[in-house]
Structure 1
């Protein structure tokens, strides 16, 4: 708008001069003297206007030119004296210009014209230019960088301004390092371990435990308080928690050095509520983490964050619980649920084995005795326990139904019981689980992250040998189970024998007591042994797998070079047999089936194969675990397994 004002001014003056000329022309016929006087005045006015206009324009242009020079000098001086270090680069990072502070504080008065910014500072220039901001640490100072880009003659110029945020960064580090975290510490099976100890031994253990915890907290600024004889709560700062994580919580090893009667070792479980926004949330995280640690067998640390769990330790087998109070309470609660439902459906995990199907059938038999309909949901095409189902049908006991039938019979009052798994992903039918309004879980595997979290009753005992053992203990508290068909006792005993490898692995006092109860119910050990018999072809396949095994750090690894009908049954059997070879401490059998690689893992010792399989997406027990890896070849799966084993064997060296 300002550029149009001189034009309108000239037009206005021109019109005035024209008007004056026309008026003077009107005097031409009336008064000659006045006419010429008007003409002279008009001419003088026009000349004076033109002279003034041109002089003003030149003065204006001169003023503008002077002002531009002064502004350019002021701009250059201002840019050079900016209160923050500033540098101008081209797209390649070439330094074209920098101000006084950049040369003094960052370059330390060195001349770097013509150098690349990467030769001066450790910057990721492409990412910096793309995001428009970044940060750099230089000479004990932290700088935040902002980028302004302009284009001149098809050339990009980038102005980088460095803001010193060292004090703010130090304040932020102090804030983050002093964030409090709640830790809950529990002595595993404290009362059971000390039940038969002498009073002097108890006193010695009390003192040793408290001294151990005091040493654990001594390097920190945290606080430790005793909640009960076996429970403690601690609050530590983030910086000290990170030291514990780097040390892999050595207190777990210290706890195992405390023994009771030179036989039982004390173990410790810790739940850590990390990354919470408040102390209340941290305590809630710590409780969830402690439940997870205890559900995985104890003797470990579970660290709960918003993104999941991290685990440390877990090398002990766990101490068997001697009290049966929990079993009685669970049995009574289950009978109340069964009484209020219209029917009961029981299912185990996919590819159900003798333990999964045996425990389901045994529990269904007890429920039928109470007068409620009960069915075992199983896929007859994929189950590995067909012999159990055949045995029950031979006794004219028909309990099994397939998944589609179960879905059509499911109602809002139907009770679903899941046995031998607590994972949402491993159940026989995910749809059946999602449609169930009431769910009960009975399992003995070490707890995994993606567990069934909406169960009305979650009966989870990782110390138990098998799901069949847990079901057998429950049946002893059920009403009207004295006259069960001995076939139910056979299938339950088969489940126990499978998971204990004929009472060799993971057996405790309660395991033998459960077996004795089943024998009292009429279990036939010879009939049970026949469940484990195999054909000559199966034996040959198993022998072939064993012969192909390779040794790696006392681990036998066998890869099936062909797929046959009973591969899912032969693979775990081959893994068991490999443990019988001298110097073999762990065994892994790999095979491909239905587009995924399956790994059966076995161990006899202190190594935790559950942790190994967990890193590959599976789980199980410390001495018996498995996983399925989709969309991968057997060779790639073997390489992943070797990498995980290398990490496991390297950990002891790192902790020394």
Structure 2
């Protein structure tokens, strides 16, 4: 390799030359000046000679040492290697490289003496710690390995460049061609089609199959119809990623197919991406499909390493009319109750009338089965204290216990029933949940990622209006030993829960909702007594109107900020959100309020906008028409800005579908 002449030597030679020329010109005019210049010039020349000798000796010594080292390491062999090899010193400068390195890495450029990191973009810290690192160079991917050699006062790092381009090309192609299972189902096909004419059924079937054929025509996969409402597809990664990036436009296209001109068709899609085999992919696809159906349908679900991704979900769920599932669940639940010594019941944190009402309803049925029941509630953090006091009075205070008392009481022979939530993080007592050996979940909220996965019975019905409605249906099928009627106070509790979540039978109200209410009325539910459970003080009413008056409209959403503290803020804030839905052209309402160091957002909608999706972006959840979230370590202003961004994203995504 060529050694470059140091710049300082060139400068010294030029200075010497610059002094000699004027000295000859001045020799006749001023011998003194000429002699001084000549003396200085010769001194510089002598310095150059000495510097050159010393520099040459050092360079020769360095090159000699390195050559001696390379000879001992078979330098000729390294130079003939079919892979690029380079040697750098302690200053990470090139001191040697073989011919193939010059051709493939250096591209003919002389890199001797250059900084290695300025020429090869690689993380040297990673290379030093791991001994190897991947590095893209000149369109190729190299696996660079390092080996350190030390001898006497010389230290070198030998770098070997292994071309892995073909391997990564093959790996990329295998990843792109990896097959995945998709399961597509038509939501509530039987319920929608049962009253349709034969011609309408045939037309719907043709339009549906055409839509799916067009969907698959853009891929090299295939699809198989396994039942009137279910399709199995195999799609390669390259095409599946395109479908995911397009946000499953087939969901929007499916809604354009209407049975009898008025019932839109909706799809639920489970995607089994990331599996090692087709069998595993099918299992993942079924899990994702269950998640999609558990969230109300009309959406696609993709499982990722960190959880799930959701697409769609802008339509209202269609009520299911079949009671066979309810009867089977009721029989299984009664068997578990009868085989347990005691039953503990909990709802979600900051329980409301639906949570406490459902717990009271199932407790009343358990008491009728002559079993001991306890409801664990934190009275200091509950929004249904009026109902708790009412039940306490009717049962002589024998039903409710604190979470800590329940935690110390529960044994392996007892069971735990969780109502109005299926999320591990939202239960009234996480310790009680962990100590329970037998767990049953009864909930109507759309399924979230962190759901309870160890339940003996997971009764999840996102089409139900409330958990109280679900409990009302279940207790109808219990086989009571004596009297099948629960006490009137428990019927009041269940009716209050239904009225809360349906906003007095206005929202999310189906046929089964009214049937449940009629059954409770037969049991002696008192609508006047239930109405009193919703009453507020005059001060609470003033605070609610203050929140409503502060609201602003953004993108057809009413946003209000409660910038005051009060003991009943958790009650008046959701009530204010309900009131804001009465404003013309408002799709959803949001009330932001603070409790302690936590900023809360209560969200409501009439169904035109899915507030659950918006709250999930902020770390919360809930239902399509009623959701909430809690934000830590943020100000009210920051929460409002984050909410506006989430609203705009949701609106944009629903427009793009």
Match of 1:338 in 2: 337
Question: Which of 593, 608, 611 lines up with 1:609 in the alignment?
Answer: 611
1:444 maps to 444
Identify the match of residue 524 of structure 1 among 511, 523, 526: 526
Alignment match, 1:628? 630
Deviation string, structure 1 residues 9-30 (Cα, Å, up to 9, x no partner): xxxxxxxxxxxxxxxxxxxxxx
- After superposition, the C-alpha distances for 1:301-338 in whole angstroms (9 at most, x for unaligned) are 22234543222221111111011111111112222222
Q: Go from structure 1 to structure 2 and tell me whether the alpha carbon gap of 1:159 and 1:542 turns closer, same or farther (over 3 Å shift).
A: farther
Alpha-carbon deviations, 1:387-441, whole Å to 9, x = none? 1122223445542222233234323332221110111221111222222222211
Distance 2:287 2:123 in 1: 41
Distance, in Å, in 2 between the alignment partners of 1:603 and 1:141 is: 54
Does residue 382 (structure 1) correspond to residue 381 (structure 2)? The answer is yes
User: How much does 1:356 deviate?
Assistant: 0.4
Whether the 8 Å contact between 2:355 and 2:420 is mirrored in structure 1 is yes
Structure 1 residues 517-526 or 444-453, which shifts more?
517-526
Q: What is the correspondence of 1:113-262 to structure 2 with a 5 Å cutoff?
A: 113=112, 116=115, 120-149=119-148, 157-262=156-261
> Following TM superposition, by how much is the alpha carbon of 1:576 offset from its aligned partner in structure 2, in angstroms?
1.6
Deviations 1:520-549 (A, max 9, x none): 333222222221111121122222223333
How has the CA–CA distance of structure 1 residues 617 and 154 changed in structure 2, closer, same or farther, with 3 Å as cutoff?
Answer: farther
Q: CA deviation at 1:91?
A: 6.8
* 1:599 paired to 2:632: no
Query: Displacement of 1:359 after TM fit?
Result: 1.1
Query: Could you say if the C-alpha distance between residues 104 and 401 of structure 1 is closer, same or farther in structure 2, counting changes exceeding 3 Å?
Result: same
Q: Distance in 2 between matches of 1:323 and 1:290?
A: 20
**Equivalent residue number for residue 106 of structure 2:** 107
Displacement of 1:137 in angstroms is: 2.9
Q: Could you list the per-position Cα deviations for residues 586-642 of structure 1 after superposition, in whole angstroms to 9, with x for gaps in the alignment?
A: 222222324332221122344322122223222110111112233444344334334
The residue aligned with 1:289 is 288
Relative to 1, partners in 2 of residues 1:84 and 1:531: Cα closer, same or farther, differing over 3 Å?
same
Q: More deviation in 426-435 or 127-136?
A: 127-136
Counterparts of 1:431 and 1:240, CA distance in 2: 45
The equivalent residue for 1:416 is: 416
Map 1:369-518; keep pairs closer than 5 Å: 369-396=368-395, 398=397, 399-480=399-480, 482-518=484-520
Alignment partners' CA distance in 1, 2:588 and 2:90: 57
SS of equivalent residue, structure 1 residue 276: coil
Match of 2:362 in 1: 363
- Residue 263 (str. 1) matches residue 254 (str. 2): no
Structure 1 residues 196 and 550 mapped into 2: Cα distance closer, same or farther (>3 Å)?
A: same
Tell me, yes or no, if the aligned pair for 1:273 and 1:305 is still in contact at 8 Å.
no
Distance in structure 2 (CA, Å) of the matches to 1:526 and 1:467 = 21
Q: Which whole-Å CA distance do the structure 2 matches of 1:151 and 1:574 have between them?
A: 76
Normalised by the length of structure 2, the TM-score is 0.83
Q: Give the distance between the partners of 2:112 and 2:632, measured in 1 at CA.
A: 56
**Cα gap change, 1:118/1:392 in structure 2, threshold over 3 Å: closer, same or farther?**
same
Shift of 1:476: 2.3
Q: Which residue in the other structure is 2:42 paired with?
A: none
* CA shift in 2, pair 1:362/1:72, >3 Å: closer
Equivalent position of 1:46 in the other structure:
none
Is 262-271 or 120-129 further displaced after alignment?
120-129
SS of the aligned residue for 1:137 comes to strand
2:35 corresponding residue in structure 1: none
Q: How many residues align?
A: 591
1:292–1:302 contact (8 Å) kept in structure 2: yes
8 Å CA contact 1:143, 1:162 repeated in 2: yes
**Structure 1 residue 74: deviation in Å?**
9.6
Distance (whole Å) between structure 2 residues aligned to residue 459 and residue 613 of structure 1: 24
608-617 vs 348-357, which moves further:
608-617
Whole-Å separation in 1 of the counterparts to 2:69 and 2:452: 76
Contact 1:482 1:521 in 2 (8 A): no
Partner of 2:308: 309
The 1:428–1:72 alpha-carbon spacing in structure 2 relative to 1, beyond 3 Å, is: closer
Within 2, Cα distance between the matches of 1:524 and 1:541? 29
Equivalent position of 2:559 in the other structure? 557
**Are the aligned partners of 1:217 and 1:223 in contact in 2 as well (CA < 8 Å)?**
yes
Per-residue deviation, residues 253-306 of structure 1 (Å, max 9, x unmatched): 122111111221111112222222222222222222211111111111222345
Distance 1:152 1:372 in 2: 84
Contact 1:225 1:234 in 2 (8 A): yes
Look up the SS of the partner of 1:381 in the other structure. Answer: helix
| Structure 1 Cα separation of the partners of residues 107 and 607 of structure 2 | 61
TM-score in terms of structure 1 length: 0.83
CA distance in 2, matches of 1:627, 1:499: 17
Larger radius of gyration: 1
| Alpha carbons of structure 1 residues 148 and 391: separation in structure 2 relative to 1, 3 Å | same
Q: CA deviation at 1:445?
A: 0.4
More deviation, 458-467/376-385: 376-385
- SS of residue in 2 equivalent to 1:357: helix
Go from structure 1 to structure 2 and tell me whether the alpha carbon gap of 1:640 and 1:579 turns closer, same or farther (over 3 Å shift).
same
Q: 2:545 aligns with which of 543, 546, 568?
A: 543
CA 1:407–1:129 in structure 2 vs 1: closer, same or farther (change >3 Å)?
A: closer
Q: Aligned-pair distance for 1:466?
A: 0.5
Cα separation, partners in 2 of 1:588 and 1:127, compared to 1, 3 Å:
farther
Contact 1:181–1:273, Cα closer than 8 Å, also in 2? yes
3-state DSSP of counterpart to 1:374: strand
RMSD (CA atoms)? 2.9
Which sits farther off after the overlay, 584-593 or 642-651? 642-651
Alpha-carbon contact 1:93-1:125 (below 8 Å) kept? no
Gaps of 5+ in 2: 1-63
Deviations 1:438-494 (A, max 9, x none): 221110001112211121211110011100111111222234565333322222111
Identify the range of structure 1 (597-606 vs 251-260) with the bigger mean alpha-carbon deviation. 597-606
| Counterparts of residues 59-98 of structure 1 (less than 5 Å) | 72=71, 77-89=76-88, 95-98=94-97
Contact 1:188 1:266 survives alignment (8 Å): yes
